Amino acid sequence: MYKKNIRKFIYVIIFSVVVVVIGLPTVQYLPDSVKGRFEKLAVNLGLDLQGGLHLEYKLDLSKVSDEKRNEAKSAVQAAAERKVNAYGVGEPIVWLSERGAETYLMVEIPGVKNIEDVKNVIQKAPLLEFKEEKTEEEKTKEQEETNAAMKETLAPMNEENHQKAQSALDRVKNGEDFVAVAKEFSQNPEESTGEEGMIDFVKKDSLPAQFSDILFSDSLGTGSIHPELVETEQGWFIIKKLEVRGEGEELEVKAHAIPFGKVSIPVDPYRATGLTGEFLERADVSIDNGMGGGISEPRVLLQFDGEGKDLFAEITKRNLGKSVAIYLDNQIISAPTVQAEIADGHAEITGSFTIAEAKELARQLNEGSLPVPFELVSQQSVEATLGAEALAKSLKAGLYGLLLTTIFMTLYYRLYGLIAAMALCVYTGTLVTIFKLSSYTPLSITLTLAGIAGIILSIGMAVDANVLIFERIREELRLGKPIRRAVNEGFNRAWPSIRDGNVSTIITSVILMMMGTSFVKGFALILVLGILVSMFTAIILVRVVVTYISGDWLAKHQWLIMSNKKK
């Protein structure tokens, strides 16, 4: 029994050290390699603590049929999330709230500065476009115009890459290892093997003219490095001829090239057609069972209105065998190839889809076509300085509460009270650890001012549990029972009262989460989490420690836990 108790005690010590270390705001005393990992852990703070913007939009679903309403709501939420994420703000939260017959889109964006810009981005309707391929001449011309317009910006970067290429060429010509230099100038030198840019045995017509004229020339011997940089539209290359095999038309060369790319602005390979989501009536997923009962293949069906049907017919007619790209808010979501002219306005997109991928594509297409306007009905902005001040005051209040509780418990319950106070520190560390680690899970917890109130309240409930336990233990000791038996019965007899009180609070908190506003939900969620953790520390951790120390020596010194031995 003693060995079992000491093993549990050691587990409690290890657990306590781990959560306290993770929960500490600074870890300066740890080695740099370990400290860097701990510093990445942080508690997600809500708007009221770090400042930011809270927006409420009312959705107008009057033009959406009942069977499409849920899909339309999800589309609005997805569009808002994509736009906020693309704007570049950190940790945005977007969700839908039902209030009676009305639906609201709620957006919380911490740390935002340009409030009006964010509001305009969110409220802008999703843009669904169908685009066709540009000709090679159009792409080349546009690329040249773009590069010319950006010449002053691109020229210094390209000159820098040119100088790097020349420096690397001089080094390999002076005898440095070719592979080592290739590895050094790789885009990922730490993961590179230096073998990138290897050209396996190829024939002359398989290479660009700039490469083939050099590699298939007798003037460059096997194992030799071309003495000058080879320039193409893509950049500069250092070329080393490795091996030659075959003769005549079957002649092949193996080589190694170190690339130094030219910086350019990529151009969109597609151009607008005038066909947008305005003309798309519906996108659905269908399962093609195949000929003769073959393997089922998901596909996405499109249905255009009258005007859209004519536009789509023209587009498919002039793009046979080419791809037509589908863009949502300037992001390409699919680029199916046109197999035949489609004149009836009913099209299908096929490919190696899973059912989930087909549904997602259909959802994105409907997102750009469903008419769901929404208007801003509420806006709350919190300055970062006010949030920081609120956080500092809240933490100070929690610290004072923890300190006063520790003093009271230690003075009144003596040694047991000191153990309970230490358990409160472990409780706090455990909560902070949960908050930090939750950011690595899909259920990330955001701490708000209301949440801090829930934590402080749960501290009092944790102490209340220990008060019930210690009073029960004192009653058993006053009846003359041995200390170990008194401890065991004290915990057992106090448990029903602790359980009933905490369960009733959890039930009330769950009701608040189901029916309250976002701030009330935050308070209730943190309160439930705090209660569960407090029950763990008060019932399990404290019991292990109290049981371990409550031996014969404490029976002889009962003044450490109570003022009198017997009543």
Lowest mean pLDDT among 110-124, 205-219, 243-257: 110-124
Strand partners, 401: none
**pLDDT score of 270:** 92
H-helix or E-strand spanning residue 527: helix 518-535
Tell me the mean pLDDT in the region 350-367: 78
| Choice among 111-115, 245-249, 379-383 with the minimum mean pLDDT | 111-115
Phi and psi for 179 in degrees, rounded to 5?
-65, -40
Average pLDDT, the chain: 81
Strands lying side by side in the sheet with 297-304: 280-288, 297-304, 346-349
Q: Using 50, 70 and 90 to split pLDDT, how confident is the model at 252? A: very high
Long-range contacts of 71-75 (CB under 8 A, 24+ apart): 71/363, 71/366, 71/370, 72/366, 72/370, 72/372, 73/103, 73/372, 74/363, 75/126, 75/363, 75/366, 75/367, 75/370, 75/372
Calpha distance 15→18 (Å, rounded):
5
Coil, helix or strand at residue 252: strand
> CA–CA separation, 213 vs 230, rounded Å?
11
CA quadruple 275, 280, 284, 288: dihedral sign? negative
DSSP for 457-483, written as a single string = HHHHHHHHHHHHHHHHHHHHHHTT--H
Amino acid at 83: K
CATH code linked to domain 279-367: 3.30.1360.200
Q: What is the pLDDT of residues 439-472, one digit of tens each?
A: 777 667 777 777 788 887 777 777 888 888 888 8
C-alpha–C-alpha distance, residues 176 and 180, integer Å = 8
DSSP codes of every residue in 370-428: S---EEEEEEEEE-HHHHHHHHHHHHHHHHHHHHHHHHHHHHHHHHHHHHHHHHHHHHH
Q: Tell me which fold the domain 2-45+383-560 belongs to.
A: Multidrug efflux transporter AcrB transmembrane fold (1.20.1640)
Q: What topology does CATH give the domain 49-127+373-380?
A: Alpha-Beta Plaits (3.30.70)
**Two tokens at 29?**
């005393």
**pLDDT tens for residues 296-337?**
678 888 888 888 899 999 999 999 999 999 988 788 888 889
108 vs 34 pLDDT, higher one = 108
pLDDT in tens, 368-416: 666 677 788 887 776 655 566 767 777 787 788 778 888 888 888 888 8
d(CA 514, CA 40): 33
Most confident region among 11-25, 82-96, 414-428, 513-527 by mean pLDDT:
414-428
* pLDDT exceeds 80 at position 28: no
Same fold? 2-45+383-560, 49-127+373-380 = no
Residue 171: predicted pLDDT: 93
Is residue 401 within 8 A of residue 462, CB to CB? The reply is: no
Residue 254 in contact with residue 243, Cβ under 8 Å?
A: yes
Where exactly are the structural domains of the chain? 2-45+383-560, 49-127+373-380, 140-261, 279-367
- Band (566; pLDDT cuts 50, 70, 90): very low
Pairwise pLDDT comparison (127 vs 417), residue with the higher score: 417
Q: Which of 275, 277, 287, 272 is nearest to 363 (CA)?
A: 277
pTM: 0.50
